[in-house]
Amino acid sequence: MKAFTTLLILVSSIYYIFYFDAGQSLATVIFKLTPMLLIIFYSLFYYRKVRKYLAIVLGLIVCMIADGVIVYSFLGGLIVFLTGHIFYLYAFLKISVNKRKSGIVSFPFLIYMTIMGYLLISAMVDSGETALVIPVILYILVIGFMGITAVWTNDKYAMIGAILFIISDSFLAWNMFVESISYSHVWIMTTYYGAQFFIATSIGYFNKR
């Protein structure tokens, strides 16, 4: 059943990514949310045995809601996604086993947050979208620290998921505020669905500890 659900996630993700654009129609939203709904269902195969990782499942659910909200309101979606990342951050922090190397682990993420934050803020100021500066800065900080805590878990699935999420959001932000990226929809959603799938899979790894 788990293998079949994984196949459905892959097929539904490919179908949405290559047959739908980032539109606001009801059909678009439904097909956009379908892979996330399946990923949540997939996570429950692990969650049934590991109830203490509820925060990860809640993060998946909140992010699915954000998927729908961001179609109609970028700021609204940003806030909901921020909440989802806080759930992930909390879960990874609770599972962390490698905080002793926090300085080494943190450095690349801090560099990313600094450079990306500077470039995005400069672009938003130049375009007059200053109202989004503070929410975007807060989002960059939270997702950056979510990446750091994912590495602290020593779990390859959590790490891959967090890094893919950062890449996906970087594509989205760059395409929206700096300059257009060719096939941005494909890059953003491929890395996004991959991120959520790996984060959901990480529950199974934590169950083996």
Of 176 and 2, the structure prediction assigns the larger pLDDT to 176
Percentage of residues in the chain having pLDDT higher than 70: 92
Residue 165's CB: how many other CB atoms inside 10 A?
26
Of 129 and 118, the structure prediction assigns the larger pLDDT to 118
- Residues contacting residue 103 through CB under 8 Å, at least 6 positions apart: none
Look at residue 104 and tell me whether its pLDDT is greater than 90: no
Name the band, by pLDDT with cuts 50, 70 and 90, for residue 208. low
Q: Give the Cα separation of 122 and 130 in Å (integer).
A: 10
Q: Which two tokens stand for residue 92?
A: 């990874």
pLDDT in tens, 8-21: 999 999 999 999 87
Q: Give the Cα separation of 168 and 65 in Å (integer).
A: 17
Q: Say which DSSP state 183 is in.
A: T
Any idea what the Cα angle at residue 104 is, between residues 102 and 105, rounded to 5°?
60
